[in-house]
A and B are shown apart, each in its own frame.
Chain A
Amino acid sequence: MRLLPLLLVILVASVGAVEVIKPVAVELPKPIPPPKIPPPIEKPSKLKITPRFKHLRLKPGDSESFDVKIRNPTDKDVMIEPRVVSFREAIDESWISFDKDVFTLRAKDSATVRITVSIPSDAEKGFYSCQIAFTNDSGGIYVNAIHLSVEVYIPPSVKISPRWISDFVEAGRTYEYKVKVKNKGEKTFSINPKVVQPEYSIEGEWLSDREISVISPSTVPPNSEVEVKIVVNVPSDVTGYVRGTVDLDIDDPGLDEWNRRVELNLNVYSVPKEPFVKVVKLENASKLTVKVSSDIKVPIPMFETKGEFEVNIFSPSGELKLRPKVIEKLVVTTGYSFSPPWEETEGIYKVVSTTKTEIYEIENPENGEWRIEVMPKGCFGFSLEVEIE
């Protein structure tokens, strides 16, 4: 093979020079056998097959059968010979059986082939697939075939709840989250929690085992529930979203790596240390009205917010001790027809929100600079209205 270029070089070098070259022994390449392509069928007998695709989800040891209807619309008889044609991650041929081996399907006639898929009890979890061909008609692909896909799954014995923790947290504070691990199975499983970080870069800041600690029992016994505590020390210098992942590493074969993890998604906020201040200048006003309300629209839902705030009003002479008029506003649903159809709440009163408004009225206010201070306590914000008459 290596001698061939050498011969060509000699021949090229010889062009122009009238020289007779003696024949040289050359090792020629061995002929490559032509690829094995299934012989094209001139007129394949195209059968009507239903279904063309079948997906099954089975446990190890399970078995399921389904029927495939084959109709021969052609004018000639066709030999039906069901068999498994495998691909990568293929279904083992031994898992599949047919109620008919070889038979002739008469022209314009129909037949049903029952296919049974039996998963061995030691089969591994995963996705498997194959084609089941009914005739030899092919032109690279089998013309009369169906695609069979099987997911072998092992139902988990362990349930982790919650698997996602989303919260609003304050920078520099410590939070504890409780995760319940319930074992409905008959076997004890081990728990080896560890804080993991994504292998590749994902947007946002990720907490490590410096910020997250996990307090957990080492096992979850059969038919019982244990509690895992995840303690998060939110760094004092972070803002926005921070995330963290705790892999409980429970050795239940039914759990995948991703569904034995607890994901933390924390929105860090900073609470103002000083009150909000509004200064108003009054001159010969007959009345000053100040309205402070927690009834504001925020883009994020407010859970567990009390809607409280502290209001202090200072006249030019000093702080005033005033008793406000308080208005509490409730939004109540009744399961009326505007509710989504999946909420079957007919006839039930539900308070969906409570907001508070404080109104301070000062008759004949003193001339000069007035100072209104509002300190939010347990609310994300407030509205402030100042009316001068």
Chain B
Amino acid sequence: MRRFIIFLFLLLCCIQKGDLVEKIRSNPDEYLYPFDGFRYDNISVELKDETIYVKATCSELEGEDIYVFVNENGTLTLRSYCLEALPKVVKMRAVEIAMSNETIGRNAEGVVTVRRILPHTSAKFYIPKVLFSVTWHEERVVSALVDLDEGKVVRVYVSGYS
């Protein structure tokens, strides 16, 4: 009897997790945030333990968007994300603006990435709006948080900088 209850509990958990995966697949607009004006053509959803990994691409855009959700009592919470599916021109413009900052210009070295930052994160550092993180990955990580509408760098980060 006890074994049966445990089995039933695990089965319910699996159904619940499966439901969450299905929720994302069937309603991507509710959980995912493609770059303004675009839609994802390809979405893959993978469940690992309590974590749901979503990879999404758009044929018109370079790069891939990755979302990591966690299941918190049946509610999907976005734990982390890395959104690189962007028009090339947006990336170039973001880099241009970042390079206009003196600290960035002095320290930027190595390969650069441009990632979209969602409003709930931006709110902690500036105001709740879509911003762009332009980051150079070398021994020292150098990054600019860029407001594309205003054409300005709103925050600068240099690892190990005092």
A residues touching B (Cβ–Cβ < 8 Å)?
159, 161-162, 164-167, 177, 180, 182, 225, 265, 297, 301, 303-304, 331, 333, 335, 338-348, 350, 352-353
When distances are taken between beta carbons in the complex, the residues of chain A under 8 Å from B159 are: 338
Q: Say yes or no: is B153 at the interface (Cβ < 8 Å to chain A).
A: no
Given known contacts A225-B37, A342-B125, is B66 in contact with A348 (CB within 8 Å)?
yes
Q: Say yes or no: is B57 at the interface (Cβ < 8 Å to chain A).
A: no
How many A-B pairs fall under 8 Å by CB? 104
Q: Say yes or no: is B131 at the interface (Cβ < 8 Å to chain A).
A: yes
The answer to whether B133 touches A342 (Cβ under 8 A) is yes
Q: Say yes or no: is B17 at the interface (Cβ < 8 Å to chain A).
A: no
When distances are taken between beta carbons in the complex, the residues of chain B under 8 Å from A344 are: 79-81, 121
When distances are taken between beta carbons in the complex, the residues of chain A under 8 Å from B15 are: none
When distances are taken between beta carbons in the complex, the residues of chain B under 8 Å from A159 are: 36-37
When distances are taken between beta carbons in the complex, the residues of chain A under 8 Å from B112 are: 301
Given known contacts A167-B92, A304-B88, A353-B111, is B125 in contact with A341 (CB within 8 Å)?
yes
Q: Say yes or no: is B19 at the interface (Cβ < 8 Å to chain A).
A: no
User: Bound state CA distance, A225 and B37, in angstroms?
Assistant: 8
Q: Say yes or no: is B110 at the interface (Cβ < 8 Å to chain A).
A: yes
The residue in chain A whose Cβ has the minimal distance to the Cβ of B126 is A342
12 contacts between A and B (CB under 8 A): A159-B36, A161-B37, A162-B87, A165-B93, A303-B88, A303-B92, A304-B88, A331-B137, A333-B113, A343-B115, A343-B143, A352-B113
The residue in chain A whose Cβ has the minimal distance to the Cβ of B60 is A178
The answer to whether A346 touches B79 (Cβ under 8 A) is yes
User: Bound state CA distance, A110 and B88, in angstroms?
Assistant: 59
Q: Say yes or no: is B58 at the interface (Cβ < 8 Å to chain A).
A: no
The residue in chain B whose Cβ has the minimal distance to the Cβ of A182 is B37
The answer to whether A177 touches B89 (Cβ under 8 A) is yes
When distances are taken between beta carbons in the complex, the residues of chain A under 8 Å from B110 are: 297
Given known contacts A166-B96, A340-B157, A343-B143, is B111 in contact with A350 (CB within 8 Å)?
no
When distances are taken between beta carbons in the complex, the residues of chain B under 8 Å from A340 are: 133, 135, 141, 143, 145, 157
When distances are taken between beta carbons in the complex, the residues of chain B under 8 Å from A166 are: 89, 92-93, 96
* A184 nearest CB across to chain B (Å): 11
The answer to whether B68 touches A352 (Cβ under 8 A) is no
Mark B110-148 against chain A: 1 for CB-CB distance below 8 A, else 0: 111101010001101100000101010100010101001
The residue in chain B whose Cβ has the minimal distance to the Cβ of A345 is B82
User: Bound state CA distance, A265 and B96, in angstroms?
Assistant: 10
Interface centre among A297, A339, A340 (most CB of B within 10 A): A340
The answer to whether B80 touches A165 (Cβ under 8 A) is no
When distances are taken between beta carbons in the complex, the residues of chain A under 8 Å from B117 are: 342-343
B residues touching A (Cβ–Cβ < 8 Å)?
36-37, 51, 62, 66, 68, 79-82, 84, 87-93, 95-96, 109-113, 115, 117, 121-122, 124-125, 131, 133, 135, 137, 141, 143, 145, 148, 155, 157, 159
The residue in chain A whose Cβ has the minimal distance to the Cβ of B84 is A350
User: Bound state CA distance, A161 and B38, in angstroms?
Assistant: 11
* B83 nearest CB across to chain A (Å): 10
When distances are taken between beta carbons in the complex, the residues of chain B under 8 Å from A225 are: 37
The answer to whether A343 touches B135 (Cβ under 8 A) is yes
Given known contacts A167-B89, A341-B157, A343-B143, is B111 in contact with A331 (CB within 8 Å)?
yes
The answer to whether A343 touches B93 (Cβ under 8 A) is no
The answer to whether A350 touches B89 (Cβ under 8 A) is no
User: Bound state CA distance, A331 and B89, in angstroms?
Assistant: 23
User: Bound state CA distance, A124 and B159, in angstroms?
Assistant: 48
Interface centre among A167, A177, A345, A353 (most CB of B within 10 A): A345
When distances are taken between beta carbons in the complex, the residues of chain A under 8 Å from B79 are: 344, 346-347
Which of the residues B121, B141, B148 comes within 8 Å of A338, measured between beta carbons? B141
User: Bound state CA distance, A350 and B81, in angstroms?
Assistant: 11
* B148 nearest CB across to chain A (Å): 8
* B147 nearest CB across to chain A (Å): 12
User: Bound state CA distance, A8 and B10, in angstroms?
Assistant: 115
* A285 nearest CB across to chain B (Å): 35
CB-based closest 5 A-B pairs: A340-B143, A166-B92, A353-B111, A340-B157, A301-B112
User: Bound state CA distance, A162 and B96, in angstroms?
Assistant: 14
Q: 10 other contacts beyond A167-B88, A177-B89, A297-B110, with CB at 8 A cut-off? A: A166-B96, A301-B95, A340-B143, A341-B157, A342-B125, A344-B79, A345-B80, A347-B80, A348-B82, A350-B66
* A389 nearest CB across to chain B (Å): 32
The answer to whether B87 touches A335 (Cβ under 8 A) is no
The answer to whether A335 touches B36 (Cβ under 8 A) is no
